[in-house]
Amino acid sequence: MDNHNKMDEQLRNLDKDIQWSPRGQQRVRRRVIHNMNQTTHPLRSLFKKWLIPTFSILLFAAIITTLVLSEVTDQKIADDSGQNGQHSTHIVSGDDQENASDENDNNDQNHSKPDHSTQHRHNNNGGEKPATNESNKTDSAQSDDTESQKQTLTQDDILAVVKRQMDTDLNISLPSTLPLNDGNHLTATTSSDATSYNVTFYEHTEPIPINNKLLFSDKNPAHVIARLRVQQYDNQAKADEAIGHEIFSESGGKEVDLGPGTTGYQDGAAGSLFTSWNVGRWALSVKTSTNNSETGLAYARKTVQYLNEKALPIPKPHGFAHLDPENNSTRIKWQKGKTVYTIDQTNDPDTSLTIAVQFK
Amino acid sequence: MEKDAGDQEQIIEWYDMYSLSLFKYILKMIHDAQQAEDLLQDTFIKAYTYLMRGKDVDYPKTFLYRTAHNLTIDHIRKHKPIRMIKDFFNNREDPGPSVEDVIEIQESSQELFDALYSLKANYRQVIILRRVEEFSVKDTAEILGWTESKVKSTLFRGLQKLEEKLQKGDVGDGQS
């Protein structure tokens, strides 16, 4: 009985003789609180542990993929513009209107006051100016890094690619050579639809692929040589109206001698002097300021002489050349029935004439 | 959110009140201080999830002991074969803090501590609850999920076994 009571006493005091370290008690307390928080916010815990890292990895992969695809796309554009000659219209047909706007912007920037010294462009016409095209790096035309990727292309090669870039029902006619400054490379932007096509020719010291997005950007380093626009109208009357043919002997004005067998007529209006003449089915008019009447006459005579050697295309029925040696508003238009060809945006009328005489 | 915070505060309050006695109860049952800490933690997490389900607890001490008891019995059932193997090889890969590092037991009580552990689990748990923790027969029955008469009869036999072991000095691991 004594033993029994003693054992009961020992049992009652047993817990007093067992000591659990306060550190252990606090450790478990912290673990309980931590686990309660995880139990309360399992989604938050899951989010922190898995979703954020997973999403970050996926986002990173998406960015890398986008960059790679962008590079591949640029490469394809460049390749399509190059020698393989595969038909590519994804840039051309994409935003014609926008591209046209860009072209206008670029042209405004690129045009400067014409200079008669640009006659040297004519001198380059006959040669097969080597042109190059690059296969990569759309915005690094001036980068040395791309040198190894350049391919040497002739103007014929480039013009052939330009043709393939356009999708139209019209028969595409292009000049065979463009007058380039020494060392410059030819490139172009194109747009087209069933009844029209536009080509803006550029030159630059470094090769730039045809329809490269750099040519549509504000940082376009290339200079416009000329723009060719070909538009088929619904009927002959609209095409005739677009040409606006004139017979200057009927309009009157002061007669001037422009060379053997060619009589011109000078007529002034609002500070401008027009020296105009007709040859065949063509009407030509040189615009100068009234203060420079001799300049206009001299340029008209030089043009008559030039056209005795190089023939303008035969229009059906008419063509009109508005030549402006003092400003860059030169336009040469001719029609082939309902289709009207226009050369404009040149830096000087010599360039326009040089291109126009290459058409039949 | 406010309810979650309230439940957490409740659990922390219970922890501060009962964790020490609960730890000693689990420790006496399994003789493994580190495992006792783990089971103590599980006891309060289980109590927290119980509260989170919107259930009320009228008698927290009894409720916590019942929870700890169930977890401990589950642990004993699941780990008994493993424990035997470990004892056989006496080679724990990650022993962690030893019993001595985490707890201290007065030498005068060590024999009783070991003798209790040498008893069958049924005897051990009823003796601890009735004689050490001094729960009433009714509360002990509720904690163990027994009838009150089973509590009384098992306690009677358990105390006899314990007295025999103490008199014989037989406090080995053989549980009887």
Task: Domain ranges for chain A, please list them.
Answer: 2-40, 98-112+135-225, 239-356
Task: Tell me if B116 is assigned to some domain.
Answer: yes
What is the average pLDDT across B162-173?
Answer: 77
d(CA B22, CA B62): 11
Per-residue pLDDT of A61-108, as tens digits, reads 999 998 888 877 766 655 555 444 333 333 333 334 344 344 444 444
**The tokens 């690059």 sit on which residue?**
A134
Quick one: B157 and B119 in the same domain?
A: yes
CB A155 within 8 A of CB A131: yes
The three-point CA angle A83-A84-A90 to 5° equals 105
Provide the terminal-to-terminal Cα distance of chain B, rounded to the nearest Å.
Answer: 50
What CATH number has the domain bearing residue B105? 1.10.10.10
Does B97 reside within a domain? yes
Residue B175: inside a domain, yes or no? Answer: no
Residues B68 and B103 in one domain: no
Q: Is A38 in CB contact (< 8 Å) with chain B?
A: no
Is the predicted pLDDT of residue B33 greater than 60, yes or no?
A: yes
Do B50 and B6 belong together in one domain? yes
pTM greater than 0.95: no
- How much is the pLDDT for A37? 84
Q: Tell me the shortest Cα–Cα distance from B11 to chain A, in angstroms.
A: 9
Pair A96, A193: CB distance under 8 Å: yes
Buried b (16+ CB within 10 A) or exposed e, A324-337: bbbebebbbbbbbe
Place of tokens 């003796």: B127
Say which residue, B119 or A252, is predicted with more confidence.
Answer: B119
A341: β partners? A230, A334
Contact present, A282 and A297 (Cβ < 8 Å): no
Q: How far apart are CA A9 and CA A330, in angstroms?
A: 121
Judge if B106 and B160 occupy the same domain: yes
Q: Do B66 and B6 fall into the same domain?
A: yes
Which burial class, exposed, middle or buried, applies to A172 when counting CB atoms under 10 A from its CB (0-12, 13-18, 19+)?
A: middle
Instruction: Report d(CA B67, CA A153) in Å as an integer.
Output: 86
Q: Tell me the C-alpha distance between A169 and A149, whole Å.
A: 35
Residues B58 and B94 in one domain: no
Q: What is the three-class DSSP state of A278?
A: strand
Q: Which residues contact A176 (CB under 8 A, 6 or more apart)?
A: A155, A156, A159, A358
Q: What's the gap between Cα A84 and its chain centre?
A: 20
Q: What residues of chain A score a pLDDT lower than 70?
A: 1-2, 40-46, 48-49, 74-152
Instruction: Confirm or reject contact between A69 and chain B (CB < 8 A).
Output: no
Whole-angstrom distance, CA of residue A128 vs CA of residue A130: 6
Q: Best of A3, A29, A36 to disrupt the B interface by mutation (most B CBs within 10 Å)?
A: A36
Contact B98, B129 (CB under 8 A): no
Question: Does the CB of A6 have a partner CB in chain B at under 8 Å?
Answer: no
Report the alpha-carbon distance of residue A341 to residue A230 in Å, rounded: 5
- Residue that is last in its domain, among B52, B78, B104: B78
d(CA B21, CA B39): 13
- Predicted local confidence at residue A124, as pLDDT: 38
The answer to whether A19 contacts chain B (CB < 8 Å) is: yes
DSSP B132: I
pLDDT at A126: 36
Is the same domain home to B123 and B158? yes
Determine the length of chain A: 360
In a shared domain, residues B142 and B110: yes
- Domain range spanning residue B128? 89-168
d(Cα A30, Cα A16) in Å, to the nearest integer?
A: 25
> Residue B173 falls within a domain, yes or no?
no
pLDDT at position A60: 92
- Partners of A36 on chain B (C-beta within 8 Å) are 7-8, 11, 45, 48
Chain B residues in contact with A7 by the CB 8 A cut-off are: 112, 159, 162-163, 166
Residues of B in Cβ contact (< 8 Å) with A15: 21, 24, 132-133
- Chain B residues with at least one Cβ partner in A under 8 Å: 4, 7-8, 11-12, 15-16, 19-21, 23-24, 27-28, 33, 37, 40-41, 44-45, 48-49, 52, 97, 101-106, 108-109, 112-113, 116, 127, 131-134, 159, 162-163, 166-167
Rounded CA separation A129/A123 (Å) = 11
Residues in chain A closer than 8 A to B102 (CB atoms):
20-21, 24
Partner residue facing A18 (CB), from B27, B49, B163: B27
Tell me the chain A residues in contact with residue B104 when contact means C-beta distances shorter than 8 Å. Answer: 18-19, 21
Provide the token pair at B174: 């053989």
Per the CB < 8 Å rule, is B19 touching A17? no
Nearest to B65 by CA among B14, B124, B19, B22: B22
pLDDT in tens, A158-199: 899 899 989 999 999 999 899 998 889 999 999 999 999 999
B58 and B122 together in one domain: no
User: Which of B44, B78, B112 is at the close of a domain?
Assistant: B78
CATH at B38: 1.10.1740.10
The number of distinct structural domains making up chain B is 2
Query: Which residues in B lie closer than 8 A to residue A28 (C-beta atoms)?
Result: 19, 23, 37, 40-41
Q: Would B176 be classed as within a structural domain?
A: no
Q: Which residue intervals of chain A are DSSP H helices?
A: 2-14, 22-40, 42-46, 52-81, 96-110, 120-124, 155-165, 213-216, 236-243, 248-251, 293-309, 349-356
Q: Which residues of B touch A25 (CB under 8 A)?
A: 19-20, 23
Q: How far is B103 from chain A (nearest CA, A)?
A: 5
Chain B nearest CA to A25, separation (Å):
8
Q: What is the rounded distance in angstroms from the CA atom of residue A161 to the CA atom of residue A212?
A: 13
B83, part of any domain: no
User: Is B174 a domain residue?
Assistant: no
End position of a domain, from candidates B57, B78, B99:
B78
B48 and B70 both lie in a single domain: yes
Chain B interface mutation, best of A14, A27, A39, A45, highest count of B Cβ atoms under 10 Å: A14
The single residue listed with the structure tokens 């080679």 is B91
Residues B70 and B119 in one domain: no
What six digits make up the tokens of A283? 């009407």
Residues B93 and B72 in one domain: no
